[in-house]
Amino acid sequence: MSGARLTGRRIHGGRARGAALVSSAALSFFGGVDPESGVVTEKDHPLEGRSVAGRVLVFPHGKGSTVGSYAIYRLARRGRGPAAIVNAECETIVAVGAIIADIPCVDHVDIGQLPDGALLEVDADRGIVEVVDR
Amino acid sequence: MTLQLTDEERGMLAGEQGRATKKSMEILVALGEIYGARRLIPVRSVQVAGVSYDNLGQAGLEFLEEMAADGRVRVLTTLNPAGMDIESWRELGIDETFAERQRRVIEAFARMGVIPTCTCTPYLSGNLPRFGQHIAWSESSAVCFANSVIGARTNREGGPSALAAAIAGRTPGHGLHLERARVAEVTVQVEARLVDETDFGALGFVLGQALGARVPYLTGLDPDVSLDALKALSASVATYGGAALFHVEGVTPERPAPPAERLVVTRAELDRARDGLSDEVAPDEVDFVSIGCPHASLDELARIAGLLRGKRVLRETWIHLARPLRDVAERAGYVRAIEASGARLACDTCMVVAPLRGRFRALATSSAKCVYYSRGKNNLRVLLRSIEDCLALATTAPAGAER
């Protein structure tokens, strides 16, 4: 069953398809995600123990050190980065990370409409996030 | 899209001037759109942070080497401290592998034309903007100093966005580049006489806790306040609150109207803050003394040399500074006095970015910023003390220690 088709803002272009990994909490890529495996390591984080690799990663916004941009790049270079990033409100750390890692990224999306595990299609050039199958 | 680009900028974004310029423009345009900039503004000076291999890791190194393939800076660009003294790293206990990778990071920056000053005080080492100039700096303490004390204009950039500004020669014109973001928001009446750098560090902490990133207008400070005190205040304000600008009545060059909203800071509050910036550490437990966060000035080096002349340090003692200042300090005789005591002058690096985890237990430092990172990143217990008290500790043997 297909669902919502949301339009937001392009942060970095490209297209990707993948299962949603949804967090209600902000995410820090420096110190909060294991740079080799892509598994979230921040204690008591809603995604603790789950891997961002290959997923359409949905979270409100980034937090923490600006070194986090390099951490996103490092994940992508290891093939452990997210397929796409969808934010409510993108900020410097995630935006710069997505650009240098070449990961499609969209923000200004009502992320509450995106269920964890749903198959999402992201057309970041047009700022569109579509629920293909939930 | 509200951001307007010139024809040249559109060409840069399309890749007409190479890959690194294209990548840089993608970063600047995305940030400009996120923060509602109308245009990109030319900058004259850039300071790039994100240099220590301890923070960058292999990925950061790979990114920098990729940018260095065809990236060249267009304006005066200097570098933040690295994870080691570029020349005397062995003496600081840095291992060979780390040193090799750190050197590759520096070389990648140098290929792009970034001058490897390796200091967090660019304004003391040849990168000094003028009042009103648009610049793109990372390194939060230097950002705060440049905006507040010099009156130059910069947002708080991250390492990659500062590098992008250097390569493109531009930065998105939003935030502190605009007049309206530079007005004071809260009048802060300081009802205490601030004595040493720990008082200024404590004041930064109090401001950070009370105001977050809101811009203070400080009254009650001595109009003859030293640059070193303002350097300490800049570092602490930026660390504990995230503010990138403060005004001091009769001292800093921008003269905004004093805001109606008021906050009073008393001696008792400063003392409480200063106590909170130290852990329960008996002076005998201190095995590491570190000064120079931000990097020591010539005045501070004179003070330190005066305090150490003819003495011996009996605990590991590091003084952090920029290499160019070391040369000057050598002529002044400070280097000889400091090194004869057994204290180390660690250039190019500092205790915040060096790989120190696990090497020491308890630190005495004169820097409130250093307290934060030593606790969080290096897992040290800390004592915040004046330079005089830190060096008195350094030259006193811990009880029970072998002589």
Tell me the pLDDT tens digit for each residue of B87-111: 999 988 899 999 999 999 999 999 9
pLDDT at B403 over 50: no
CB contact under 8 A, B63 and A100: yes
Share of chain B above pLDDT 70, in %: 99
Instruction: Answer whether residue A46 shows pLDDT above 60.
Output: yes
First-to-final CA distance of chain A? 6
Residues of B in contact with A87 (CB under 8 A): none
Q: Find chain B residues with C-beta within 8 A of A103's C-beta.
A: none
Residue B308: its pLDDT value, please? 98
Q: What is the count of residue pairs from A and B with beta carbons less than 8 Å apart? A: 72
8 Å CB contact of A74 and B58: yes
Mark whether A65 is an active-site residue: yes
Cβ–Cβ of B59/A90 closer than 8 Å?
no
Residue of A23, A89, A90, A8 whose CA lies nearest to A55: A23
Helix, coil or strand: residue A119 = strand
Using a CB–CB cutoff of 8 Å, tell me whether B55 touches chain A.
Answer: yes
Compare CB distances from B160 to A12, A30, A100 and report the shortest one's residue.
A100
Q: What is the pLDDT of residues B178-210, one digit of tens each?
A: 999 999 999 999 999 999 999 999 999 999 999
Contact: A70, B23; criterion CB under 8 Å: no
The share of chain B scoring above pLDDT 90, in percent, equals 88
Calpha distance B24→B160 (Å, rounded): 8
Average of per-residue pLDDT across A99-118? 96
- d(CA A111, CA B248) in angstroms, rounded, equals 43
Residue B358 has pLDDT above 90, yes or no: no
Q: Is residue A105 within a helix (H) or strand (E), and if so which, with residue range?
A: strand A105-107
Q: Which chain B residue lies closest to A107 (C-alpha atoms)?
A: B34
Mean per-residue pLDDT, B232-251:
93
| Widest CA span in chain A | 40
What digits encode the pLDDT tens for the residues B256-314? 999 999 999 999 999 999 999 999 999 999 999 999 999 999 999 999 999 999 999 99
Average pLDDT over residues B167-182: 96
CATH 1.20.1250.20 fits A10-110, yes or no: no
Main-chain phi, psi angles of B123, to 5 degrees: -70, -15
Taking only the tens place, the pLDDT of each residue in B43-57 is: 999 999 999 998 888
Q: Is there a contact between B60 and A67 if contact means CB atoms under 8 Å apart?
A: yes
How much is the average pLDDT of B225-245? 93
Q: Tell me which chain B residues have a C-beta less than 8 angstroms from the C-beta of A73.
A: 59-60, 62-63
Taking the Cβ of residue A77 and every Cβ of chain B, the question of whether any pair is shorter than 8 Å is answered with yes
Is the minimum CB–CB distance between A36 and chain B shorter than 8 Å? Answer: no
Q: Which residues contact B162 (CB under 8 A, 6 or more apart)?
A: B46, B47, B48, B49, B136, B137, B138
CA distance B388 to chain A (A): 33
Q: How far is CA B209 from CA B200, B204, B217, B220, B244, in A?
A: 14, 9, 16, 19, 14
What is the secondary structure of A28-42 as a DSSP string? Answer: -SSSSB-TTT-BB-S
Cβ burial, residue B334 (10 Å; 0-12/13-18/19+): buried
Average pLDDT, whole number, for chain B?
95
Q: Does A71 touch chain B (CB under 8 A)?
A: yes
Neighbours of B319 (CB within 10 A): 28
Listed by start position, the domains of chain A span: 10-110
Asked whether the beta carbons of B290 and B318 are under 8 A apart, the reply is: yes
Question: Contact at 8 Å (CB) between A75 and A52?
Answer: yes
Range A77-103 average pLDDT? 94
Phi, psi of A118 (to 5 degrees): -65, 150
Report the chain B residue with the minimal C-alpha distance to residue A90.
B34
What pLDDT band is residue B351 in, cutting at 50, 70 and 90? confident
Q: What is the pLDDT of residue B400?
A: 65
CB atoms within 10 A of CB A123: 19
Q: Under an 8 A CB cutoff, do A92 and B62 touch?
A: no
Note whether B56 contacts A90, CB cutoff 8 Å. Answer: no
Q: Any idea which residue has 């005789």 for tokens?
A: B333
pLDDT-based confidence at A44, cuts 50/70/90?
confident
Q: Which amino acid is at B206?
A: V
Q: Is the Cβ of A90 closer than 8 Å to some Cβ of chain B?
A: yes
DSSP A128: E
Residue A33 has pLDDT above 50, yes or no: yes
Nearest-by-CA chain B residue for A69: B160
CA distance A22 to chain B (A): 22
pLDDT above 90 covers what percent of chain A?
Answer: 74
pLDDT digit string (tens) for B140-149?
999 999 999 9
Give every strand in the sheet of B362-365, ordered side by side: B344-347, B316-321, B288-291, B362-365, B381-384
Query: Which residues, listed in sequence order, are joined to residue B96 by a DSSP beta bridge?
Result: none
Q: How many Å apart are CA B327 and CA B42, to the nearest integer?
A: 33
pLDDT value of position B3: 95
By Cβ distance, the residue of B49, B50, B59 closest to A35 is B59
Residues B26, B28, B30, B35: what is their CA dihedral angle, to the nearest 10 degrees? Answer: 180
pLDDT of res. A2: 63
Is B27 in contact with A90 (Cβ distance < 8 A)? no
Q: Which residues of B touch A75 (CB under 8 A)?
A: 59
Mutate to test the interface with A, among B63, B65, B101, B373 (most CBs of A within 10 A): B63
CA separation for the pair B147, B252 (Å, rounded): 10
Which of A23, A37, A51, A65 is an active site residue? A65
Inter-chain CB proximity A73 and B58 less than 8 Å: no
For residue B271, the model assigns a pLDDT of 97
- Write the pLDDT tens digit of every residue in A56-81: 999 999 887 778 898 899 999 999 99
